[in-house]
């Protein structure tokens, strides 16, 4: 049973560039959330996708956008990268969007902006 | 708004001793509470959750957590710590509508032989 998979695992970008991160949810899951984890902090909610729509969004600027595909996989796009965007980006999946559902995390994508 | 506080940045225990990692929360409705563990350079692994019912929840690797509504707490416990339990632990809360999970800043647990 495949868990949540993310790619790439590590990447380095220059300020002002754009980046796309990818996520495949755990088998059978239809809901995907993205989190940003800066060094020494807990994960911060970016947004959640369910039925190919953004259902809820955290306090992140419009530079952060996403998409969910019919097969439930998802992408996170960040435009006009800033040094402060350097972080571990975590994808999490669940079955349905009910509050009591457990979300399972991938290993993350480490983004370094130089 | 919902929030989580993990008042201890670091918890140190000796192997074989009981451990407690503290968590308090604030949420407007009924809380859904979760504990996750993170090993270095890895993602978060689910340990256990409280949805409703029995206040003592049992989870993976011998961990358990006690929900206390009056104290708005959800402390993680283990009767006998192992060196391999050393890791970063996160408490998270969600209200009745899913989507956003709010995490604490984490507690580093170190178990010494």
- Chain B CA closest to residue A98: B98
In chain B, which residues have their Cβ closer than 8 Å to the Cβ of A43? 44, 90, 101, 103
Reported confidence tier of residue B98, pLDDT bands at 50, 70, 90: low
The CA distance from B11 to B22, in Å, is: 10
CATH of the domain at A52: 2.60.40.10
> With left for phi above 0 and alpha for psi between -120 and 50, is residue B47 left, alpha or beta?
alpha
Cis-peptide into A8, omega within 30 deg: yes
Q: What structural domains and CATH numbers belong to chain B? A: 3-97 (2.60.40.10)
pLDDT tens-digit series, residues B63-96:
999 999 999 999 999 999 999 999 999 999 987 6
- Chain B CA closest to residue A33: B99
A42 to B90: CB separation less than 8 angstroms, yes or no: yes
Query: pLDDT tens track of chain A, all 114 residues?
Result: 679 999 999 999 999 999 999 999 999 999 999 999 999 899 999 999 999 999 989 999 999 999 999 999 999 999 999 999 999 999 999 988 777 888 999 999 999 999
The CA distance from A38 to A108, in Å, is: 12
A33 to B45: CB separation less than 8 angstroms, yes or no: no
Beta strands in A41-86, from DSSP E residues, in sequence order:
44-50, 53-57, 64-68, 74-78
Confidence check: pLDDT of B17 > 80: yes
Look up the domain containing A46 and give its range: 5-113
Q: How many domains does chain A have?
A: 1
Q: Which of A103, A106, A111 to mutate to test the interface with B (most CBs of B within 10 A)?
A: A103
For residue B37, what are the CA distances in angstroms to A42, A101, B90? 11, 18, 6
DSSP assignment letter at B1 = -
pLDDT tens-digit series, residues B33-70:
999 999 988 889 999 999 988 899 999 999 999 999 99
Give me the total of CB pairs closer than 8 Å, taking one residue from chain A and one from chain B.
68
């Amino acid at each position: 049973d495949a868990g949540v998979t993310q790619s790439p695992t590590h990447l380095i970008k220059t300020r002002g560039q754009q980046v796309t991160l990818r996520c495949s949810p755990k088998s059978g899951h239809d809901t995907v959330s993205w989190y940003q984890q800066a060094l020494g902090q807990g994960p911060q909610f970016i947004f959640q996708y369910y039925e190919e729509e953004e259902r809820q969004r955290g306090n992140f600027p419009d530079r952060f956008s996403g998409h969910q595909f019919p097969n439930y996989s998802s992408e996170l796009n960040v435009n006009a990268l800033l040094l402060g965007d350097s972080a571990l980006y975590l994808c999490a999946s669940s079955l349905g969007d009910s509050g009591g559902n457990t979300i399972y995390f991938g290993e993350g994508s480490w983004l370094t902006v130089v | 708004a919902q929030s989580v506080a993990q008042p201890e940045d670091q918890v140190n225990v000796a192997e074989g001793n009981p451990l407690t990692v503290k968590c308090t929360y604030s949420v407007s409705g009924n809380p859904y509470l979760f504990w996750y563990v993170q090993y270095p350079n890895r993602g978060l692994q689910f340990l256990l959750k409280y949805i409703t019912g029995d206040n003592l929840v049992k989870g993976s690797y011998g961990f358990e957590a006690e929900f206390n509504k009056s104290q708005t707490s959800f402390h993680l416990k283990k009767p006998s710590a192992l060196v391999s339990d050393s890791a970063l632990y996160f408490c998270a809360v969600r209200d009745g509508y899913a989507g956003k999970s709010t995490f604490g800043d984490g507690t580093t647990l170190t178990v010494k032989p």
